[in-house]
Every structure is written in structure tokens, then in C-alpha cells.
């Protein structure tokens, strides 16, 4: 179980690195007026989004395995505590944020972005808040 937990942490950390950086690329794209630079930033964003998605999959799989080992068949069907329900809600929000990044990337690719660089700076703070909430729930287990 410790190996699975370690791999889960590594993939979650790597996934979040992408979730922190992709919106920074969006900030630059929203400010950029040169086509060559925009194309380079779009290429970076596409590659990063693809890589983030690859990292998210094992993070989720290892998380589900841990969930099953702790509260599923191996544990005799124990009831999940409230903090785990809250954590899973935040994980769903992280998945929604990941999907939103993909939607925003498509808008940049299609040349229809209407958001300012300031909006993207604020958007970039969302995964920080989500990660903070998830870590506090897992470590502190407040309820």
C-alpha cells in the first residue's frame, strides 16, 4: 500500500505542476500580439496539456486503488469518513479545472479567446486553493 501511496503522490504532484504552469502560458498568450511567439506558446500549451492528462490518469488510478484498499473490499466495506467525501469533491473540482484548461486552450487555438491576462492570473490561483484544501483534508482530517 505504501508503494501505491508514494506513486499516487508523485503523479498528483507532477499533474499539479502542469496545472500551475499551463495558466501561466495562457497569461502570456493573452498578452501576446506576435504570431510567431503565439504559435510557440500554443505549441508549449498543447504539449503540456497532453502531458498533464497523461499524468492525471495514473494519479487517479492510484488514488482509486488506495480508496478501494482503505474503504472497499480489502477493508470489509468500511464507511468513508466525511473528510474523504470532501476530498473527493475537491478532486472532482480539480478534474473540472483540468477540463476547463483544455477548453481555454481550444479557444486560444481557434483565436476566440476573450479573456484578459488579468483574468488568467486569477484563474491561475484556483489550483493553489484546491491543492491546499485537499492537503489539509488528508493531513488534518478535520471531520
Model confidence at 126, in pLDDT bands (50, 70, 90)?
Answer: very high
8 has binding-site annotation: yes
User: Looking at the predicted structure, is the pLDDT value of residue 73 above 90?
Assistant: no
Per-residue model confidence (pLDDT) at position 75 = 52
Per-residue model confidence (pLDDT) at position 90 = 98
- Stretch 34-49: mean pLDDT, rounded? 98
**How buried is residue 65: exposed, middle or buried, by Cβ count under 10 Å (0-12/13-18/19+)?**
middle
141 has binding-site annotation: no
Model confidence at 83, in pLDDT bands (50, 70, 90)?
Answer: very high
Q: So where are the chain's domains?
A: 2-140
- Stretch 36-44: mean pLDDT, rounded? 98
| Residue 6 Cα distances to 1, 9, 66, 137, angstroms | 9, 5, 11, 18
Per-residue model confidence (pLDDT) at position 72 = 83
* Gap between the Cα atoms of 41 and 117, Å rounded: 14
* Gap between the Cα atoms of 14 and 59, Å rounded: 9
User: Looking at the predicted structure, is the pLDDT value of residue 42 above 90?
Assistant: yes
Amino acid at each position: 500500500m505504501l508503494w501505491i501511496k508514494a506513486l499516487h503522490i508523485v503523479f498528483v504532484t507532477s499533474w499539479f505542476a502542469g496545472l500551475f504552469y499551463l495558466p501561466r502560458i495562457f497569461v502570456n498568450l493573452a498578452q501576446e500580439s506576435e504570431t510567431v511567439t503565439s504559435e510557440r506558446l500554443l505549441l508549449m500549451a498543447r504539449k503540456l496539456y497532453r502531458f498533464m492528462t497523461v499524468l492525471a490518469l495514473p494519479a487517479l488510478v492510484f488514488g482509486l486503488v488506495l480508496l478501494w484498499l482503505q474503504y472497499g473490499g480489502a477493508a470489509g466495506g468500511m464507511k468513508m469518513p466525511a473528510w474523504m467525501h470532501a476530498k473527493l469533491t475537491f478532486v472532482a473540482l480539480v478534474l473540472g479545472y483540468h477540463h476547463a484548461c483544455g477548453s481555454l486552450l481550444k479557444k486560444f487555438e481557434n483565436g476566440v479567446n476573450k479573456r484578459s491576462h488579468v483574468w488568467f492570473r486569477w484563474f491561475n490561483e484556483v489550483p493553489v486553493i484546491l491543492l491546499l484544501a485537499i492537503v489539509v483534508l488528508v493531513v488534518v482530517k478535520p471531520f
